[in-house]
Structure 1
Amino acid sequence: MREISNVEINTLAKELDDVLKGARLQKFYELGEGEFRLEFHAPGKGTLDLMVELKKRINLTRYVKPAPQTPTQFAMQIRKHLEGALAENTRQYGFDRVLVIEFNAQDGKKQLIIEMFSNGNMILLGEEGRIIACYRTEEWSDRVIKRGVKYIFPASTKIDPREVDENKLRSILNEKKLIACLAGRINLGTIYLEEVIARAKLAVDKQANKLNSDEITELLRAFSEICKAFEHPVPTAYFKDGKSFDYSILPISKYASLESKQFRSISELLDEFYAPNSTMEEPKADKQFAEEKRKLEFALKTQREAAENLRKKAEEAKQAGDKIYEHYSELEALLRFVYSARKSNKSWDEIEKVIKGKAEIDRTKGRIIVNI
């Protein structure tokens, strides 16, 4: 699976910020395992559908997949807090594979965090940065993703390619092949690192710490050149044997011999790259298998959520039963007193005076409420 890179998310964030700013979220759907659709309404633009497939893509789509009849628990949580909310800002966190959509909701500011690395995740934050809902509960040594805790953005240990200078570059060169060395220390996707090396006229398998001063200068020039090119993206899809092969936000040297097609935006490119019934889709058998797998995974997730809800209800019922058993003699005496008092025509006011501090009477529903 082609995972979206941080460079592409950087371009995408700028595109989406222009389009979504001022739009209201109308509906949120969970379509399958790690797959979501956010339906916005934008003044003067109408309905905008944002597709999210964790790790894979985020884009506005014209291929709207049908939503399941029953929303998942996660979808209901997002709807509860974000339906009708105004999208104010869309941005990338740092230069990482994290997209942040900031909302102004009726009960305050909210942030929807879309993590496109590791297993992928979607997290809703409240005003204080605490997690209201998350698609996956996860835990690492330096941060925890679960409801109620304060969200911590992932720490980036790699060098931002836009900040590479001679000192930083020399400090990371080691005995590994050049491509492996750069990929391990610089926050840039492999396809773009290979392009940097190609523009510097170097070999990807050259030993990194064997670069001479002239080669280091050329590598720095290539980094500067490609980072400037990122500011003027040319979203391009590549085809091999008539099928989709790869994509980028600028022309890639090693794909020069392949058929290619340029798009007006990275969002449009991704929509067509993953579009159904197009020359850019997966082979039919693979697609049918993937669709069946998606349906089964979605059904399994829904059943697990239902089972977890039943387990919680059963646990609550058991705890209530244990409490009743523990105080059985007291409860029995209380009920006998109330029954006897009512049979003797005593008023509820008289009864309440006697049981005050032990129980409360809900006259409208005919209930006796006991705190035990």
Structure 2
Amino acid sequence: MDPKRELTSVDLAALVGEFGTYEGAKVDKAYLYGDDLLRLKMRDFDRGRIELIIEVGEIKRAHTVAPERVPDAPGRPPQFAMMLRNRLSGADFAGVEQFEFDRILEFVFDREDGTTRIIVELFGQGNVAVTDGEYEVIDCLETVRLKSRTVVPGSRYEFPDSRTNPLTVPRDAFDREMEESDTDVVRTLATQLNFGGLYAEEVCTRAGIEKGMDIDDADEDDYDRLYEAIERLALDLRNSNFEPRMYFADDGGDGNGGDSGDGDGDANGDGDGDADDSSPDRVVDATPFPLEEHVELAAEPYDSFLAALDDYFFRLELADEQEPDPTDQRPDFEEEIAKYERIIDQQQGAIDGFEQEADALREQAESLYAEYGLIDDILSTIQDARSQDRPWDEIESRFEEGAERGIDAAQAVVDVDGSEGTVTIEVDGEYVDLEAGRGVEQNADRLYTEAKRVEEKKEGALAAIEDTREDLEDAKARRERWEADDGEDETEETDEEDRDDREWLSMPSVPIRENEPWYDRFRWFHTSDGYLVIGGRNADQNEELVKKYLEPGDTVFHTQAHGGPVTVLKATDPSEASSSDIELPDSSLEEAAQFAVSYASVWKDGRYAGDVYAVDSDQVTKTPESGEYLEKGGFAIRGDRTYYDDTPVDVAVGIQCEPYTRVIGGPSSAIEGQAATTISLEPGRYAQADAAKRVYRQFRERFEDESFVRKIASPDRIQHFMPPGGSRIAEE
């Protein structure tokens, strides 16, 4: 069986109680690694140092870890981490809650100046949202813009739609969920009751129910046993009646199942031991109590579920690191491509289904208006009878009598449900459920609203299918690169530079050599000829560049369009003697022009080219003509200008590995020769922060040493080199 990489809803329900023992701990610092791993360093009077890890990427988890197992701090804290430090430093951990039975944890921190909530979404793409005490989003790792819910800075955090909580579901609601299913018992528990696959099977096993039993074959006695098994599970979770276990799949030994030890060594729950040679081959799960579904697996007991999770994910990471080097064997691209194609087919089917459902709901709403008088007669009859306290059974009988007498309104009534306060009618051969206490317009509005909600689901599915299509194209591109590299390896004349690039990408550990040059706070790049180009990020920096850093021999670029940065092509370094005799190469001038137009409003407006002019440094002045006024960041030009018409936008972001390890960005002709790998961008629909996260994920896929990418190329750092406005990764 495959190892667990995401915590389940049952896991989170168990964690809430154990996290409660840390209430009162004070936050020292927050760290963000890449775009999906958050670490909170806390201290407790009794326990000392506490390290909380939250990961929302391919692995989704939230638990404490032993201090010696935390990753080294990133060199430069990104903006998200700095925001958390400002809000949480010295704050008290006030507790954690699970949102209903969803895979969402809400961590609460209190300080004199207010409350901060960290809401962790451990499902789908994963997300971490930081809100104030009133749930206004301060910042989030992923922005969510769906019609059904929005998670963006400045808006109120919106939880997903409520789902059935199997731990609190009343018996009558449980029976109704089961009876309305059209599949087998285990799938019903997994989906309708939201248990997920493993715990749906566990409930069936504990209840002695055949998992594959068709729901139509289940009787009252079966429902009794299932509901009792769920109640026992819920009781264990409420009372923290845990016996945590870590389970192993013994791939090569003679493991005979059951608990494999007496709690010695690392099984004592202290979480500070390493996996040793005597352990079974692979960790596959960690659970808050023994599972009958895992009875055949070797297991180790733990004193706490948090300790079990700490050890489990530590060993899982070790196992992942020991997997065969993917560069030594050809990846199964065909299987990956087939998988994405299957997912696209499923997503397209869901989209088609949402469209049909929304159309049907709108048609029902329109049919209400088409038969307004008839339906108003039905609803008014029910409302008048209820105002006289007539029972629902009597109302239903009156409609049946009316139907026998041939009354049109009565004949249209199919069913009356007093428990739900609804009436089902037949209009144009279609059944429509109406809320009896509402009028025709209100019922029609409800159906239109429901149609909109289904349309929102379709929008989410459309976004998901686009992501899957990008994954599919990426897999195809990686296959082509692999096959091209194979062909190059068979020839004697392999390009030396390409060989160096592959070496950096495949190195298991890339050494970090950091350097923060004086110009790092500006926009900057080095041309393919080695000249430095600097651009202002705002009016203050434009002003500073002209007043402080503009030297004889430099060339200044600016776009014809309003809103462009001051761009300076430096002839010399500030530490060198300036000279006006240096002749700058045409290639550097052209790259500087591309830089100027790419980081101007041209890109932000979604255009692919713009006009740029260049002047010598002595033509630029901050002294206006008589009667003129220069705004902050503005300047005056004297003399002739050299124009670069229809200059195309061109931005690439890359990771440089020598002489320093850092993110760089600028025109692709300059960046490609200086970076181990690059990604080209073009104007697009993704917000700057979202596009930066997409670039970061691709970089992580390209480097064998993912920790290196996390440390030096966070999305925040990548965003530093991206143009303002929307972007997308250019098609390969």
**Contact kept? 2:245, 2:299, Cα under 8 Å:** yes
Partner SS state of residue 209, structure 1: helix
| Counterpart for residue 719 of structure 2 | 307
Q: Is the 8 A contact 1:161 1:188 kept in 2?
A: no
Aligned residue pairs total 311
Aligned residue for 2:50? 48
* 1:15 aligned to which of 13, 18, 39: 18
Alignment equivalent of 2:191, drawn from 151, 165, 184: 184
The change in CA–CA distance for 1:199 and 1:303 in structure 2 (over 3 A counts) is closer
Number of the residue aligned with 2:64: 60
Q: Give the deviation of 1:95 after TM superposition.
A: 2.3
Change (3 A) 1:283 1:189: farther
> Which of 215, 222, 243 is the equivalent residue of 1:234?
243
Note closer, same or farther for the CA distance 1:138–1:167 as it changes in structure 2 (3 Å cut).
Answer: closer
Is the contact between residue 84 and residue 105 of structure 1 (CA under 8 Å) also seen in structure 2?
A: yes
CA-to-partner distance for each residue in 1:38-82, whole Å, 9 max, x for gaps? 100112322111111126211111111111111112111211221
Output the CA distance in 1 between the equivalents of 2:126 and 2:199: 22
Shift of 1:312: 4.1
Q: Does 1:210 align with 2:210?
A: no
Matched, 1:29 2:31: yes
Partner of 2:134 in structure 1? 128
Corresponding residue SS for 1:260: strand
Q: Point out the more displaced range, 64-73 or 246-255.
A: 246-255
**What do residues 151-181 of structure 1 show as CA deviations (whole Å, max 9, x unaligned)?**
1222222243332414522443323121112
Give the SS at the match of 1:161.
coil
**TM-score, normalization by structure 2:** 0.40
CA offset at residue 141 of structure 1? 2.2
- Cα distance, 1:201–1:48 mapped onto 2, change above 3 Å: same
Once residues 89 and 79 of structure 2 are traced to their aligned partners in structure 1, the CA distance between those partners, rounded to angstroms, is 15
**Matched residue type, 2:206:** R
Which deviations, in whole Å up to 9, do the C-alpha atoms of 1:122-142 show, x marking residues without a partner?
Answer: 111113221111111112222
Q: 1:285/1:73 Cα in 2 relative to 1: closer, same or farther (>3 Å)?
A: farther
> Residues 31-110 of structure 1 correspond to what in structure 2 (within 5 A)?
31-54=33-56, 56-62=60-66, 63-110=69-116
Cα distance, 1:146 vs structure 2: 0.7
Post-superposition offset of 1:116:
1.0
Aligned equivalents of 1:290, 1:269: Cα separation in 2: 32
Asked which structure has the greater RCO (Cα within 8 Å, sep 6+), the reply is 1
Among all aligned residue pairs of Structure 1 and Structure 2, give the percentage whose two residues are the same amino acid. 25
Q: Structure 2 stretches of 5 or more lacking a match?
A: 251-280, 326-699, 726-732
Decide whether the 8 Å contact of 1:194 with 1:204 is kept in 2: yes
Q: Does 1:165 align with 2:171?
A: yes
Pair 1:200–1:29, CA change in 2 (3 A): same
Change (3 A) 1:207 1:10: same
Change (3 A) 1:312 1:80: farther
Task: Establish whether residue 256 from structure 1 lines up as the match of residue 256 from structure 2.
Answer: no
Q: Describe the SS at the equivalent of 1:149.
A: coil
Q: What do residues 9-43 of structure 1 show as CA deviations (whole Å, max 9, x unaligned)?
A: 11112111212x11111111112341121100112
| Deviation of the 1:300 alpha carbon | 8.5
Output one character per residue of 1:283-334: Cα deviation in whole Å (capped at 9) or x when no partner: 4447x99993633653686366543576349xxxxxxxxxxxxxxxxxxxxx
| Corresponding position: 1:200 with 2:200 | no
- The separation in 1 between residues aligned to 2:147 and 2:187, in whole angstroms, is 26
CA contact (8 A) 2:12 2:103 kept: yes
**Is the CA contact (8 Å cut-off) linking 1:51 and 1:59 kept in structure 2?**
yes
Quick check: 113-122 or 303-312, which moved more? 303-312
Query: Secondary structure at 2:710's aligned position in 1?
Result: helix
In structure 2, C-alpha distance between the alignment counterparts of 1:209 and 1:136, rounded to whole Å:
42
What is the SS of the residue equivalent to 2:76?
coil
Judged with a 3 Å threshold, the aligned counterparts in structure 2 of structure 1 residues 227 and 256 are, in CA distance, closer, same or farther, namely same
Q: In structure 2, do the counterparts of structure 1 residues 311 and 167 end up closer, same or farther at CA, with 3 Å as the change threshold?
A: closer
Of 262, 284, 287, the residue aligned with 1:245 is 284
Runs of 4+ with deviation above 4 angstroms: 276-282, 288-291, 303-306
Alpha carbons 1:159, 1:185 under 8 Å: kept:
no
| CA distance in 1: counterparts of 2:212 and 2:30, whole angstroms | 46
Bigger mean CA offset, 104-113 vs 195-204: 104-113
Could you report, residue by residue, the CA deviation over 1:96-116 in whole angstroms, capped at 9, with x for unpaired residues?
A: 211112112342111111111
On the 8 A contact 1:238/1:247 being kept in 2, the answer is: yes
| Range 293-302 or range 1-10, more displaced | 293-302
1:142 equivalenced with 2:151 (yes/no): no
User: 2:621 — aligned with what?
Assistant: none
Query: What does residue 355 of structure 1 align with?
Result: none
Matches of 2:92 and 2:72, distance apart in 1: 24
Alignment of 1:270-309 (within 5 A): 270-275=309-314, 283-285=322-324, 292=704, 294-295=706-707, 298=710, 302=714, 305-307=717-719
Cα 1:309–1:149 shift into 2, 3 Å: farther
What amino acid is aligned across from residue 240 of structure 1 in structure 2? Answer: A
Give the letter for the 1:124 counterpart.
V
Which consecutive unaligned segments of at least 5 residues does structure 1 have? 314-372
Partner of 1:223: 230
- Superposed displacement of residue 278, structure 1: 8.5
Q: Does the C-alpha gap of structure 1 residues 183 and 109 become closer, same or farther in structure 2, counting only changes over 3 Å?
A: same
SS in 2 for 1:275: helix
Shift in Å at residue 271 of structure 1?
Answer: 0.5
What is the TM-score when the length of structure 1 is the normalising length? 0.76
